[in-house]
Each structure stands twice: as structure tokens, then as C-alpha cells.
Structure 1
């Protein structure tokens, strides 16, 4: 049962008595732990342990809403950050939390799902900040100052400056409670802050604009292709847009998550070949679609390729039963922001990368 993974929010239908499929009950919550015999689920009524032999059906469900409204607008900032992080997770990742430290859990032995509390520490030889930063998720149990000390020590062992991804609870600039206590510490220790990145969410059906099949989203003169693995051309285009750092590490980030889809708009040539015009990577997490790596070839812009790719990706997600998607866009990227907003997406919160000054 692939849905029985720590950290996932699920509903589990199970038999109240072994072998009896008539008397059943449901457990809705986040999976805390899984072993060969049973699964433990955190529900509103408390933890529920269900023997594997009594499980009848498992369904993954989106994060719990924080208020009434459309699905993509009622999920908390911290849950959106969790979903986004899960689609761009380097192999060198660990959770900073006092219980983990007490149990002397090493990076090599830790299960990121099982220990998904505290701050997520991420390191990669790629150049991306998201894969090289600490993400505050829940209280570490160490206090703000000692937590930041531990982050700095963790990155120091990797010969890197410490970096923390901080974020707001809504579109304003006020930090979310999960990282609000860091502001005075980061300032006092001389951290520099990046430009803001906006997280937008939208409904897949609205973004698809009535398109049912991804290939029907192509603008005139273009064709849409959907694959489960990028080509060398994709990597070349991504690298041309921004320094990826280690090519091997960048590939590992791109290809690590499954299911992963790459939606691409091509321009056919008379000789039968084709040119890549725009592309986007899509990862499904927690019944959300996470869109990353959206690029349009600089010399082939203004042909509707970016819009075609996003509409095709949204149609593909809708076909799979995924109702909501999210995307992180730098605040200076006016073209991408305008594109997503024109397709019905809206800004939910902001994030910044605070980096330790060296020397």
C-alpha cells in the first residue's frame, strides 16, 4: 500500500474485527508511523493504531482546510510550504527536533516522513536556494536561538552558509507564527534577505479553461507533449535560464520525485524536427499539483507557449483527480505572475531566504 507513508494525510477504512468486512470504521488524519504490523494515524480524537490485516481501503486526502472556501485558498501557509518542499527535496535532508536529537537519529538513518516535525534542513550541490535552506515547520522544542545555532552548525559541517526559508501567513509581509521568532535573531546575526517569492494557488479545472486533454491546450503552431522524464534538451534549456550548480545534483532534484511529469510545448519544423518553446515540471504531492521549472525559450516567446503548457498541465492534473495546484514565483517575475493570475491563481503568502553572511 503505497499510500501508507508517514506524513501523508489519509482516510483509512478498516474492519473492527479481523475477517469481518461488515463492521467497519474510518480513521482520518496524518500517518504518524508505519511498521510491518500496523499503521498509526493522528486523528482529531487522538492516535489510532490499525493492524495492516484489518485495512480495507486507503485514500490520500489534501491537507485540512483552515477556513471555509475553495480548496486551494483554505490551506495553511505551513501546509503549502510542506507540499512545495516535498516536490524539491534533496537526498541530504534531515529534521531538526529535540525528540530526534534525544533519540540520536542520524541523517543516514532518519526517515523524513516518520520524523516530519521541527525544521526541515536541506543541502544540495545544486544552486537552488530551496534545496539549500532550513524550513521551519513546527516547534523544534529547542527555542529560537538554539534552533538557529543548530542550523548554523549543520551547514557549517557542509562548508556552507546557513540559510533559512521564512514565510508569511498570508499575502502580507508579517511572518507566520512558525518562523516569526526568527526575525530579530536573523537581523542581529547579520543575515541578508533575498527578494520575496510569491506562492500562488489555483484550481486545475479553472486553469485548464475547458481543455480536457493536455494536447488540446496547444496554441496555433505548437504541439504539446507530456512525458515522465526530461530529455537532455530540457536540462540544457533549464541550465541556460539560471546557473543550476552541480549538473548531477540538479538532475537528482529534477528526477527524484515520482510521479513526475514534464509538459512541453514544441514548434514543429518542416524537416520533421521540433524546437522546445516552453516546458514545466509537475509533481503530485498530497493531492496537489506542484509546478516548477517553468521556462520559455528566450528567442521563442510571445507565442502563447507558456499559457499552453500551464493549461495542459492543469488539464492533466484534473484528469487525475487533482483539484488544486501551487507554484512559487519570484516577485520580480512580472510575466509569470501575470500568466498565472490570468488563469485564476492568486497569491497566498510570501517567502524569503535569509542567508548567513560569510567572513
Structure 2
């Protein structure tokens, strides 16, 4: 059925629109003066028992009582031109996965179970691209058992905010008791402008292998074991950049994986005492020039939403959001 609100406002969506992107306006339960109505834009992930569930591109799910609806309509996905180089979610998701390969993996239909001795969520999470070949709830139960057998927490990496992403799966994870721990943006941009930056790259050293000084600057590895080195060295064509510092630890580092037309930038870190000297820009420029020499033309990176310094840098380099990714962890009762 359809609902018509007062005046010109109409609800033009129904339960058959589940899975589509919508914009809705509804009445808040406890309205404050001047703030009676609230809007939500996202994917309509369910409409059951007179309650709608709308999942925003951030991964947040909003529950809305059917009786509180004032207006609603279908909205098209954001055009690709707003996201930097044109790319489907599937293409970009697979490129990012190839740049951060686990030590161990196993197919679950078209999903992939990944493990790397606990080093980073990306390398120790289920990547659900495609059809698992069995009901979703059963596939998730299999994943929990697989990670438990390895002494690891069960994580699922999902994505929202781009056509073909996984808002429906996010809603199902919420329903089944999984909890979202962290979210980040995947951003894309043209590669040539990064390589053309007016940056002094003379001090940037590029290497095919990761060494101990580089790892001492890298903040995510702790005491690096075999899995750390294996994951970092993975990728079709991997490069490590470093800028010597006053001691044994580099002043700045970075990692780039070249994969066809894509160059992925990761682990760009600068000594806090050496910041605002253009070292991160120099590292990015040097890696971009190497990637351009190998035939790449587009760039991607992943950044957490609360990393203000990195966001400012990447805004200046022309990177635009493509989609968000999220890690859900099984929260056992």
C-alpha cells in the first residue's frame, strides 16, 4: 500500500522498494521545538511489522515507524563523476583486497575467509563479495566457526554508499547480533596530479622490500612477526617509501601497490616531530611517479573518518569519497 501525507508531501515508496535507495521524512518521537521532522537518506533495507529500516552510507541503520512517515521517494545513486575516476564497487573492492592479502584464505561460495594471525582487521575478516552459495545466516555461522578454529575473533568487512554495495548485509548483521567496530572511507583520485606535485622527492627512498627501520615507524604492527611482513609484501607490484630521519627510524614512510590502472596508497606516516615539512606529500609524489611509470592512472586509499590530518592532506590531493567500508565483529551472547 502507499501512504499520502498532508499537503504536497507524499510517501511514494512501498515495501516492494526494499533494496533501493530512498529519501524519507518522518516525525520524531520526542520532537524538540523547531525540530519536529527528521530526514534519512540511504538504502531501504527492510519494511516489516510496520517498521522501516534505512541504512545510511555511513553504515548506520535508522528504524522508522511506518505511522511516522510524512514523505518518501526513490533517489538515484550518486553519479560516478563525483567519486573521482569511474569505478564500480566490485572493481575497487577487489583491487583493495589484492593490495592487502591474508596469509591464509578459503572460499565460501563467492565470499572469502581471510586470516593473517590477527594482523589488521582487513587481513582477518570475511570479505562477502557475491553469493556465499548458502543462506546468509548459515554462511555467517560457518565463518564464526572458521575464525574460532584459528583463535581469532570473527569479523565481516562490508561496504555502503556506492551502487552495488552491501547495505542489506549490514542490516542483516545488525539483526543477527554482529556489532560494527570501525568504519573508514575508500577514496579515489587521478594519479597524474599526485605525481606532478611540486615536491622534493630527492630524499625519498623506494624499495621492493620492507626493512626493520620502516617497520619501526609503522604504527600498526607492534612486534612484527612473519604475518606482518607477509601481508605488507603482498600485492601485484608493491613499493615501500621512506625518508631518513635523524636516528634509525625514518622520518616518513609509505606503501603503494600498483595493480593495472590502480595505485593504492597505504601506511603513509610521518614522525610527529617532522610534520608540516611536506614529507607526506613527498612520499605520495614519489610513489605516484613510480606507479605512473608502471602504467597506472587512478589512485585509491582508505582513511578513517576521524583522521583529520590525513583527510586534509587527501582533500588537497584531489581524493574524493567513493564508498565506506565497515568491520562488524561477532558479539557473542
TM beyond 0.5 = yes
Q: Deviations over 1:72-113 (max 9, x none)?
A: 53211222111001011112111211xxxxxxxxxxxxxxxx
Give 1:84's match in structure 2, choosing from 85, 88, 96: 96
The equivalent of 2:87 in structure 1 is 75
Deviations 1:296-349 (A, max 9, x none): 112221211011111121122122221011111111111111111101111101
Task: After TM superposition, list the pairs within 5 Å mapping 1:10-21 onto structure 2.
Answer: none
Displacement after TM superposition at 1:247 (Å): 2.1
Q: What CA distance in whole angstroms lies between the structure 2 residues aligned with 1:284 and 1:71?
A: 20
Are 2:272 and 1:298 equivalent residues in the alignment? yes
Q: Is the 8 A contact 1:198 1:331 kept in 2?
A: yes
Identify which range, 190-199 or 258-267, moves more after superposition.
Answer: 258-267
Distance 1:288 1:144, change over 3 A: same
Q: Is 1:198 aligned to 2:185, yes or no?
A: yes
Gap runs ≥5 in structure 2: 1-77
1:341 counterpart SS class: helix
Hey, what's the Cα distance between the residues in 2 that align with 1:322 and 1:91?
Answer: 26
Contact 1:122 1:131 in 2 (8 A): yes
Residue 304 of structure 2 is matched in structure 1 by: 330
Q: Distance in 2 between matches of 1:126 and 1:233?
A: 22
Is the 2:194–2:288 contact (alpha carbons within 8 Å) kept by the matching residues of 1?
A: yes
Alpha-carbon distance in structure 1 between the residues aligned to 2:234 and 2:323: 26
Q: Distance in 2 between matches of 1:179 and 1:150?
A: 19
Indicate the residue corresponding to 1:235 in structure 2: 215
Distance 1:122 1:326 in 2: 22
**What 5-or-longer segments of structure 1 have no aligned partner?**
1-65, 98-117, 171-175, 212-216
Partner of 2:152: 160
Hey, what does 2:200 align to over in structure 1? 218
- Hey, what's the Cα distance between the residues in 2 that align with 1:198 and 1:251? 25
Count of residues in correspondence between the two structures: 256
Q: How many angstroms apart in 2 are the aligned matches of 1:71 and 1:164? A: 25
Change (3 A) 1:253 1:95: same
Across the aligned residues of Structure 1 and Structure 2, the Cα RMSD in angstroms comes to: 2.5
- Give the 3 Å change call, closer, same or farther, for CA 223–333 of structure 1 in structure 2: same
Question: Judging changes above 3 Å, is the alpha-carbon distance between structure 1 residues 152 and 74 closer, same or farther for their aligned structure 2 residues?
Answer: same
Cα 1:142/1:177, change in 2 over 3 Å: farther
Contact 2:85 2:298 in 1 (8 A): no
Name the SS of the counterpart of 1:263 in structure 2: strand
Following TM superposition, by how much is the alpha carbon of 1:277 offset from its aligned partner in structure 2, in angstroms?
A: 1.3
CA distance 1:202–1:68, shift in 2 (3 Å): closer
Give the distance between the partners of 2:313 and 2:80, measured in 1 at CA: 27
Residue in structure 1 matched with residue 112 of structure 2 by the alignment: 120
In structure 2, how many angstroms separate the alpha carbons of the residues matched to 1:264 and 1:232? 12
Residue 182 of structure 1 deviates from its aligned partner by 2.2
TM-score (norm 2): 0.70
Q: 2:167 aligns with which of 175, 180, 200?
A: 180
Q: Using a 3 Å threshold, how does the CA distance of structure 1 residues 88 and 127 change in structure 2: closer, same or farther?
A: same
The alpha carbon displacement at 1:243 in A equals 4.5
Cα distance change of structure 1 residues 79 and 256 upon mapping to structure 2, 3 Å threshold: same
Q: Name the structure 2 match of 1:313.
A: 287
1:264 matched residue in structure 2: 242
Give the equivalent residue in structure 2 for 1:214.
Answer: none
Structure 1 residue 135 and structure 2 residue 147: aligned?
no
CA distance in 1, matches of 2:270, 2:177: 36
Q: Does 1:356 align with 2:297?
A: no
Aligned to 2:232, what secondary structure does the other structure show?
Answer: helix
- 8 Å CA contact 1:258–1:283 kept in 2: the answer is yes
Give 1:289 deviation, angstroms: 0.8
Aligned to 1:107: none
Q: CA deviation at 1:156?
A: 2.1
Conserved? CA contact 1:228–1:262, under 8 Å? yes
Identify which range, 286-295 or 333-342, moves more after superposition. 286-295
